[in-house]
Chains A and B, each alone.
Chain A
Amino acid sequence: MEKERFETNVGLAEMLKGGVIMDVTTPEQAKIAEEAGAVAVMALERIPAEIRKAGGVARMADPVIIQKIQKVVSIPVMAKCRIGHFAEAQILQQMGVDFIDESEVLTPADETNHINKHAFKVPFVCGCRNLGEALRRIGEGAAMIRTKGEAGSGNIVEAVRHMRQVMREIRELTISGEDELMAIAKKMGAPYEWVKKTAELGKLPVPNFAAGGVATPADAALMMQLGAESVFVGSGIFMSTDPKPRAHAIVQAVAHYDDPEILLRISSGLGEAMPGIEMKDLPPEQRLQERGW
C-alpha cells in the first residue's frame, strides 16, 4: 500500500470519529442504523452473539448479503474477514466495501500470520488487547484500531480492560526516554518505528475505536471517556428488545459522552438491553478475544 493510500485510508477513519458503527445483517437493519445516525455499518451474516450460539466455523458473509446492504445505505459499509484470510479480503475489496475488519469474531484462518494489509487498497481495522498488538497490526498496514473487548457478550468489562491497557501503555511510552524505546519495542513485540511514533504523538498513530460488549448508551459514553474515538456496537442493538430507540440513544451518547444531563435523558425507557454473559461463565477457549497474535 503506497503512502498516499494509507493517508486517505486513515483519513476515512478520521471521518468516522465521534460516531457509532453498527453491526447489521439485513438491508432493513442497515436502514434503521443509518436513520439512527450511524456513521457506518458492518455487514454480517450473523451478529456476534448469534455466531457464539451457533458455534462451528464462522466465515466471511455471503457477498450477496453485503451487496444488498451496500445498495440501501449511503454511509460506509464495512465487512469482516477471517484473521489471515487474505483471499476473503481480496473478495471484499473487489466488492468495494469501504473498510475490512480482520476480525477475531470469525474463526481464524491462520494461527501465525495476520493479513499483509499493505498489499490492499481498501483500509483495514483490526482488534487489539494491548499496545503491542495494536502496533503490530498498524505495522501490517491497519488504518484503524479497535479494542477487542469480548464480542457478543453484552458485557463491557473486557472492552474497558483493553482500552485502559492501551491508554496506560501509551502514557508509559510518553515518559520513557528515547534510549529505552528499542527495549520497550522488543518487550511488546511491536515495530520500533511505530513505538517511536506513538511515544512522540502520545496517542495511537491511527484512530482508536472501542468494540466488544457495548450494550447501553452508558457503555458507549464510558468507552469514549476512557479514550475511545468512536464505538462499534455489535450485538447490543439488534439483540435488544427495541433496537430503534436504542440505536438513536447510543449515537447521541457518543456525541455527548461527557454530558450526564443528556445521558440521563437518552438512557431512560429504552426497554431491555441484550442479555449479557458473565466472564466467569465464558471459559478461555470460548473467548473470541484470545484469537489474534
Chain B
Amino acid sequence: MTGRKIGILALQGDFAKHEAMLKSLHVDTLLVKKAKELDACDGLVIPGGESTTLTKLMRLYGMYEPIREFSLTRPIMGTCAGMIMLASQVDDERITPLQLIDISVKRNAYGRQIDSFISEVKLPFLANDSPFRAIFIRAPQITAVGSDVEILLELDKKPVMVRNRNILALAFHPELTDDSRIHRYFLENFSA
C-alpha cells in the first residue's frame, strides 16, 4: 500500500471525503482535474456527485480517453455517480459512460432524496464481515451484469457492488462512513 499514489477525480462531487478516507489509511493522494495529472497516479477513484455534471466536465476537459488508457494498467474505483461513469450502459442519454465494466445502470433508481436510505450489510468477500453501513443517496441500480463481472454484494437480490479485473463499482458511499474496509479492499486487491 505504501508508496502508491491514488488519484481522486476532483471535477465535482464528494472527492474530499475519499481523500480524507485514503489519508486516514496513510495513502498518498492527488486531486485530479486534468488528464496529465493521471500520469502521477497508481490508481483512481471516481467519487459520488452528479453524473450529468461529470459527463459535461470530463468531456470538456478531455478526460475520457486518458482515463480509458489509464484503466489498461491501473485500477479504478467508482462510487454512486462514479459507478455510473464506469458502466458500459446507462439508461439516460444525458450520460456518456466510460464503459470500463460490463454493467447496465439505472440512475436515481430508488427515487428522490426522501427515498435515500442506510442499510446494514455484510461484506461476504472480507474476512471481517461485521455489518457495514451502506449509505444510498439518490442511488443508481445495477440492472444487468456481464459474464466477466463478479457480484461482491447484493441488496434485495440486486447487485450493489461489483468488480472485474481492475474496476470496482459501488452504488453506495463508503467514503461517507468511518469504516475504511472497502477502501482497504480496493487498495489490497486491485493492482496494476
Check if A and B associate: yes
CA distance A40 to B11 in the complex (A): 15
**When the two chains form their complex, are residues B176 and A11 in contact, meaning their CB atoms are under 8 A apart?**
yes
Q: A7-B176, A12-B137, A15-B48 are in contact. Are A255 and B94 (CB under 8 A)?
A: no
**When the two chains form their complex, are residues B57 and A37 in contact, meaning their CB atoms are under 8 A apart?**
yes
B24 to chain A, nearest CB (A): 15
Residue-wise, chain B 103-125 has the 8 Å CB interface mask toward A (1 for contact) of 00001100111101110000000
In the assembled complex, B99 has its CB within 8 A of some CB on chain A: no
Most interface-central of B94, B114, B117 (chain A CB within 10 A): B114
CA distance A11 to B12 in the complex (A): 14
In the assembled complex, A151 has its CB within 8 A of some CB on chain B: no
CA distance A255 to B54 in the complex (A): 10
**Pairs of residues from A and B, 8 with the lowest C-beta to C-beta distance, nearest first:** A37-B56, A98-B113, A8-B116, A14-B14, A18-B12, A96-B112, A39-B50, A37-B53
CA distance A98 to B165 in the complex (A): 36
* New contact pairs (4) apart from A19-B49, A93-B114, CB-CB < 8 Å: A7-B176, A17-B12, A34-B52, A251-B57
B105 to chain A, nearest CB (A): 13
Q: A39-B49, A74-B94, A255-B57 are in contact. Are A18 and B15 (CB under 8 A)?
A: yes
A128 to chain B, nearest CB (A): 21
Residue-wise, chain A 1-27 has the 8 Å CB interface mask toward B (1 for contact) of 000100111011011111100000000
**When the two chains form their complex, are residues A75 and B176 in contact, meaning their CB atoms are under 8 A apart?**
no
**When the two chains form their complex, are residues B173 and A11 in contact, meaning their CB atoms are under 8 A apart?**
yes
Q: A12-B137, A96-B112, A99-B113 are in contact. Are A74 and B12 (CB under 8 A)?
A: no
**When the two chains form their complex, are residues B11 and A11 in contact, meaning their CB atoms are under 8 A apart?**
no
**When the two chains form their complex, are residues B117 and A75 in contact, meaning their CB atoms are under 8 A apart?**
no
**Partner among B80, B117, B118, B138 whose Cβ is within 8 Å of the Cβ of A98:** B138
Q: A35: which B residues are within 8 A, CB to CB?
A: 56
Chain B: residues with CB nearer than 8 A to chain A?
10-17, 33, 48-50, 52-53, 56-57, 60, 80-81, 92, 94, 107-108, 111-114, 116-118, 135-138, 173, 176
Q: B138: which A residues are within 8 A, CB to CB?
A: 12, 15, 76, 98
Q: B52: which A residues are within 8 A, CB to CB?
A: 34, 37, 74-75
Q: What is the interface size of chain A, counting residues whose CB is below 8 A from a CB of the partner? A: 36
Q: A8-B118, A74-B52, A74-B94 are in contact. Are A255 and B135 (CB under 8 A)?
A: no
The contact sample of 16 A-B pairs, CB cut-off 8 A, is A8-B116, A12-B138, A15-B14, A15-B138, A17-B15, A37-B12, A37-B56, A37-B57, A74-B52, A74-B94, A93-B114, A96-B114, A98-B112, A122-B113, A122-B114, A254-B12
Q: A36: which B residues are within 8 A, CB to CB?
A: 56
Residue-wise, chain A 35-79 has the 8 Å CB interface mask toward B (1 for contact) of 111111000000000000000000000000000000000111000
**When the two chains form their complex, are residues B114 and A252 in contact, meaning their CB atoms are under 8 A apart?**
no
In the assembled complex, A287 has its CB within 8 A of some CB on chain B: no
CA distance A104 to B48 in the complex (A): 30
**When the two chains form their complex, are residues B53 and A11 in contact, meaning their CB atoms are under 8 A apart?**
no
CA distance A9 to B113 in the complex (A): 8
**When the two chains form their complex, are residues B13 and A11 in contact, meaning their CB atoms are under 8 A apart?**
no
CA distance A16 to B135 in the complex (A): 16
In the assembled complex, A291 has its CB within 8 A of some CB on chain B: no
Q: B173: which A residues are within 8 A, CB to CB?
A: 11
Q: B135: which A residues are within 8 A, CB to CB?
A: 7-8, 11
CA distance A136 to B168 in the complex (A): 40
Q: A7: which B residues are within 8 A, CB to CB?
A: 118, 135, 176
